Chain A
Amino acid sequence: MTAIQKDPDNPIAHLSREDIEQIGRELDAIRQEVLDTRGEEDAAYIRGLIDTQRKLELGSRGVLLFSLFPPAWLVGTAGLTVAKILENMEIGHNVMHGQWDWMRDPKIHSTTWEWDNASPADLWKHSHNEIHHTYTNVIGKDHDLGYGIMRVDEDQRWVPFYLGQPAWNLINAFLFEYSIAAYDLQLKKNWKGRKENPEFQAKAKQVMKKIRTQMTKDYVVHPALSGPSAPTTLAANLTANLVRNLWTHSVIMCGHFPEGVATFEKKSIDGETHDDWYVRQMLGAANIKGSPAMHVMTGNLSFQIEHHLFPDLPSNRYQEISPKVRDIFERYDLPYAEGSLPGQVASAWKKVIRLSLPDDTLGKAKSLLGFGRKKKEADIHEIRPERLEARAA
């Protein structure tokens, strides 16, 4: 998709200023309702989850002490992988968003939390909470968009470097936690002149230290504790970290990359009001449909739209408010991007591959074969003729 302002199908062209303000009020009301009912049950949820996650991790690591026996390896590795995913997604990501700060528990607070990830918490919080959530999908501002190494939007000028992006993306998936660390350091931007940049030096040191302690734990200390099972425990930890990388990479891709998610021009956010920001968040994210277990394993980022609208509401509430949010989309005739996990992953990959080529290479190829790309416009006309009439009038 091109930046929404240039898009001939601009999905918000039909919204008046009053519409946007009304959407803002309705979303504020949804938020307030959650704030008013936030309490004991929510606290019990996160405490229970943290407790379960830690016991699962402890238990799995215990089992891995005997990982020489293949069944122990399987059980331990599976448990550790799930524990590590829960720790990063439903717990770490959300705690660091400040979703649980209202409990006033210093042990579960955005300012004190450190997570099981290569990227140190405070660095991640800055690049994620401040940059990505503020500038969501604004080309040139939101570094999450293509992570600075990929072309994920037609409006990013094509250069031959992008031919390799399907490969970059695959490597990125395997090394995801390290990519995040590199990205939080803004390695690409800071690489030149890194020697004369004391701030960068300090941060880089911090990252290296975090990576070192993380690696020591997973690849030295725990294997060493396993005695004869050392090599198999090492393999188990490696597997758990790898699977988590692939999983989180997929989930994050599903959040903003699938087709149907809007991007925005830099100047379009000049003078943006809070209500405009809401609308941008509504269109700049995509949800994943699935089971309760899937939602928890994605850290409820499967409700990416709700998360982007209300990043600091407790994640266990996203599912509950999602029908209300969806209702607003429907009433204001806005596209609520949603799909199954395999569908969204495929869609995101398709985009990465398509945009690795100069514009419309695939389109041209397709029209040669007789498939049109204009279908989308036709759909909109069919579905909402009254909107068009209203606009014409």
Chain B
Amino acid sequence: MGALAERVATPLLPSDYVDLLSPLASSAELRGKVVGVLPETVDSATLIIKPGRTWKGHRPGQYIRVGVDINGVRRWRAYSLTSSPERPDGNLTITVKTIEEGLVSNHLVHRIRTGTVIQLDQATGDFTLGEQRRRKQLFVTAGSGITPVMGMLRGHSEDLEGSVLIHSAPTGRDVIFGRELRGIADEGRIELIEIHTDRAGMLNPANLAAMVPDLAEREIRACGPTGMLDSIEAHLETIGLAHRLRTERFRPAVVVTGEGGTIHFTVSDVNAQGDGATPILDVGEEAGVLMPSGCRMGICFGCVSRLREGAVRDLRTGEVTTATTGDEIQIQTCVSAAAGTCQIEL
């Protein structure tokens, strides 16, 4: 049957014709339909998405990649799932906070309409609790960093009783899911400590022990801006609790940039200038090359491609990788920039 369908549809695929009639029914591409947009705070909103037929489900704490067409160009970004896998209607949610000048976040919060079909990827990520969910937890979050934790609180509501959540936001009104979090705190299921940074200033990790007396007995999960995560990591290191900490970062910690060079994408036969600070992934996309990608921040390896010749720099460490003709060195394009002329097999 499948073979016959292929013969009928060639040079297209049978799924191309299925797409024509029902984009969510495709067995080849995972898509989703935005069925609702709920404002959360002034600068954030939750998107309710009905996933396509091939959606495999997720574990709380994981994220999905979302591809949206903005001004005709497809843009991919990662967003943590904020819904429970057991949601009765089978839909999933992501919650997006706008970033100043942010292309996709502003589109998703302010402009996307219900009914829009978007591209999705299966859930991934290991910022999950697994068996550890039976242990006592401390969650430290800030801003949009609440999202994966909200996913866990909703998805593992029974297991997480007794957890402590320290959440930072500029004011009480800026707390995403504020009402729901205060509700479960009032029921006594979790202890919620809100830090309103406009008045109280940023969280000082040195105060964690005072805020959470049984700190040493807890698993610690943190998600938020780079500065907060770095300072928590450093502090837990000094007090010997680093092994208890797991973090989720929304963007790579870029430390080094340098001279760039011309990037030759060998399969597409496209040349583009890489400026030494811009990831090869962005340079390629800008030049119209079909670039595989994932988290866009160096964790999922969805962007791995072959360096055939030349030099690239890892933006997180500054390490330069070189290849000479005949080599096929795997690099992550989302965190590598050109460090001179280079050839990428894409």
On A, residues with C-beta under 8 Å from B are 38-44, 51, 54-55, 58, 98, 101-107, 109-112, 114-116, 213-214, 216-217, 221-222, 225
The reply on B267 being an interface residue by CB < 8 A is yes
Q: A104-B288, A105-B74 are in contact. Are A55 and B20 (CB under 8 A)?
A: yes
Whether B288 pairs with A101 at a CB distance below 8 angstroms is: yes
Whether A222 pairs with B8 at a CB distance below 8 angstroms is: yes
* Apart from A41-B72, A58-B20, 11 more pairs, CB < 8 Å: A39-B71, A39-B72, A40-B71, A42-B72, A44-B72, A58-B17, A102-B73, A106-B290, A110-B268, A111-B268, A115-B11
Q: How far is the CA of A14 from the CA of B268 in the complex (A)?
A: 39
Residue of A nearest to B269 (CB): A130
Whether A114 pairs with B11 at a CB distance below 8 angstroms is: yes
Query: Which B residues touch A38, using CB under 8 A?
Result: 72
The reply on B69 being an interface residue by CB < 8 A is yes
**16 pairs, A vs B, C-beta closer than 8 Å:** A38-B72, A44-B72, A51-B20, A54-B17, A54-B20, A102-B72, A102-B288, A104-B74, A106-B290, A114-B12, A213-B7, A214-B10, A216-B7, A221-B4, A221-B7, A221-B8
Q: How far is the CA of A112 from the CA of B28 in the complex (A)?
A: 15
Q: How far is the CA of A51 from the CA of B290 in the complex (A)?
A: 22
Q: A51-B20, A101-B288, A111-B290 are in contact. Are A213 and B74 (CB under 8 A)?
A: no
Q: A54-B16, A109-B290 are in contact. Are A104 and B73 (CB under 8 A)?
A: yes
The reply on B328 being an interface residue by CB < 8 A is no
Q: How far is the CA of A123 from the CA of B203 in the complex (A)?
A: 61
Query: Which B residues touch A115, using CB under 8 A?
Result: 11
Whether B20 pairs with A112 at a CB distance below 8 angstroms is: no
Q: Tell me the smallest distance from the CB of A95 to a CB of chain B, in Å.
A: 12
Q: How far is the CA of A104 from the CA of B205 in the complex (A)?
A: 43
Query: Which B residues touch A55, using CB under 8 A?
Result: 20
The reply on B285 being an interface residue by CB < 8 A is yes
Residue of B nearest to A121 (CB): B11
Q: How far is the CA of A43 from the CA of B285 in the complex (A)?
A: 16
Q: How far is the CA of A345 from the CA of B34 in the complex (A)?
A: 51
Q: Tell me the smallest distance from the CB of B215 to a CB of chain A, in Å.
A: 46
Q: How far is the CA of A377 from the CA of B20 in the complex (A)?
A: 56
Residue of A nearest to B119 (CB): A105
| Residues of B in contact, count (CB < 8 Å) | 21
Q: Tell me the smallest distance from the CB of B4 to a CB of chain A, in Å.
A: 7
Query: Which B residues touch A116, using CB under 8 A?
Result: 11
Q: How far is the CA of A109 from the CA of B292 in the complex (A)?
A: 14
Whether A217 pairs with B10 at a CB distance below 8 angstroms is: yes
Residue of A nearest to B74 (CB): A104
Q: Tell me the smallest distance from the CB of B161 to a CB of chain A, in Å.
A: 45
Query: Which B residues touch A111, using CB under 8 A?
Result: 267-268, 290
Q: Tell me the smallest distance from the CB of B291 to a CB of chain A, in Å.
A: 8
Q: How far is the CA of A245 from the CA of B8 in the complex (A)?
A: 21
Query: Which A residues touch B16, using CB under 8 A?
Result: 54, 107
Interface 0/1 of B1-36, CB less than 8 Å to A: 000100110111000110010000000000000000
Query: Which A residues touch B285, using CB under 8 A?
Result: 104
Q: Tell me the smallest distance from the CB of A314 to a CB of chain B, in Å.
A: 10
Query: Which A residues touch B72, using CB under 8 A?
Result: 38-44, 102-103
Q: How far is the CA of A145 from the CA of B10 in the complex (A)?
A: 31
Q: How far is the CA of A217 from the CA of B5 in the complex (A)?
A: 10
Q: How far is the CA of A109 from the CA of B16 in the complex (A)?
A: 14
Residue of B nearest to A42 (CB): B72
Q: How far is the CA of A109 from the CA of B289 in the complex (A)?
A: 9
Query: Which A residues touch B71, using CB under 8 A?
Result: 39-40
Q: Tell me the smallest distance from the CB of B270 to a CB of chain A, in Å.
A: 9
Whether B69 pairs with A43 at a CB distance below 8 angstroms is: yes
Query: Which B residues touch A51, using CB under 8 A?
Result: 20
Residue of B nearest to A213 (CB): B10
Query: Which A residues touch B74, using CB under 8 A?
Result: 103-105
Q: How far is the CA of A225 from the CA of B92 in the complex (A)?
A: 41
Residue of A nearest to B4 (CB): A221
Query: Which B residues touch A225, using CB under 8 A?
Result: 8
Q: How far is the CA of A103 from the CA of B72 in the complex (A)?
A: 6
5 interchain residue pairs of minimum CB distance: A43-B72, A101-B288, A114-B11, A39-B71, A104-B74
Which one of B11, B12, B69, B74 has the greatest number of beta carbons of chain A within 10 Å? B11
Q: How far is the CA of A389 from the CA of B20 in the complex (A)?
A: 63
Q: How far is the CA of A328 from the CA of B244 in the complex (A)?
A: 70
Q: Tell me the smallest distance from the CB of B12 to a CB of chain A, in Å.
A: 8
Q: How far is the CA of A221 from the CA of B5 in the complex (A)?
A: 10
Q: Tell me the smallest distance from the CB of B214 to a CB of chain A, in Å.
A: 49
Query: Which B residues touch A43, using CB under 8 A?
Result: 69, 72-73
Query: Which B residues touch A213, using CB under 8 A?
Result: 7, 10-11
Q: How far is the CA of A104 from the CA of B7 in the complex (A)?
A: 28
Q: How far is the CA of A114 from the CA of B11 in the complex (A)?
A: 6
Query: Which B residues touch A44, using CB under 8 A?
Result: 72
Q: Tell me the smallest distance from the CB of A47 to a CB of chain B, in Å.
A: 9
Q: Tell me the smallest distance from the CB of A64 to a CB of chain B, in Å.
A: 13
- CB neighbors of A among B282-325 (8 A): 285, 288-290
Query: Which B residues touch A106, using CB under 8 A?
Result: 290
Whether B8 pairs with A217 at a CB distance below 8 angstroms is: yes
Residue of B nearest to A126 (CB): B269
Q: How far is the CA of A61 from the CA of B126 in the complex (A)?
A: 49
Q: How far is the CA of A102 from the CA of B284 in the complex (A)?
A: 11
